């Protein structure tokens, strides 16, 4: 008697197949082999890039709101302190993002993985 995990529930021909990078089938015009590891690495690289852009845009937004708040304070010390705190926090956040990025690069160099933020190449180097 077969266990449920031993039953072939997929379609005939070797299992489920999808289209594109998430279906793990080759995309026409793309020379690289598409595997689950490459898809994951591509996702992580894209996520880091998006988060960096979002952090920079958030910094610009907070800096702008802090400047507008400082202009609109009209000498009120509490409003000026709140605006100054907003600007200081925005600058601190941007510095934290760049320090984390730099620390990751340094860690990659120390570990012998100089392209650690290029997850596709790093994953290939680690697994081979």
pLDDT above 70 covers what percent of the chain?
A: 62
Q: How confident is the model at residue 18 (pLDDT cuts 50, 70, 90)?
A: low
- pLDDT of 39 above 80: no
- 33-42, 71-80, 82-91: least confident range: 33-42
Residues 6+ apart with CB under 8 A from 63: 87, 90, 91
Query: Can you tell me the distance from the alpha carbon of 98 to that of 104, in angstroms, rounded to the nearest whole number?
Result: 10
Domain spans of the chain, in order of start: 33-127
pLDDT of 49 reads 80
Q: How confident is the model at residue 68 (pLDDT cuts 50, 70, 90)?
A: very high
Query: Can you tell me the distance from the alpha carbon of 105 to that of 117, in angstroms, rounded to the nearest whole number?
Result: 7
Task: Tell me what the pLDDT averaged over the chain comes to.
Answer: 77
- pLDDT digit string (tens) for 89-121? 999 999 999 999 889 888 888 877 777 777 667
């Amino acid at each position: 008697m077969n266990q449920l995990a031993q039953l072939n529930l997929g379609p005939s021909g070797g299992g489920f197949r999808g289209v594109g990078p998430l279906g793990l089938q080759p995309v026409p015009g793309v020379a690289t082999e598409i595997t689950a590891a490459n898809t994951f690495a591509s996702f992580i690289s894209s996520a880091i890039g998006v988060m960096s852009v979002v952090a920079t845009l958030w910094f610009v937004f907070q800096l702008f709101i802090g400047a507008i708040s400082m202009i609109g304070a009209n000498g009120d010390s509490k409003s000026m302190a709140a605006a100054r705190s907003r600007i200081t926090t925005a600058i601190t956040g941007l510095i934290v993002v760049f320090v984390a990025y730099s620390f990751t690069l340094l860690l990659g160099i120390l570990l012998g993985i100089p392209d650690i933020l290029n997850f596709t190449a790093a994953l290939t180097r680690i697994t081979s």
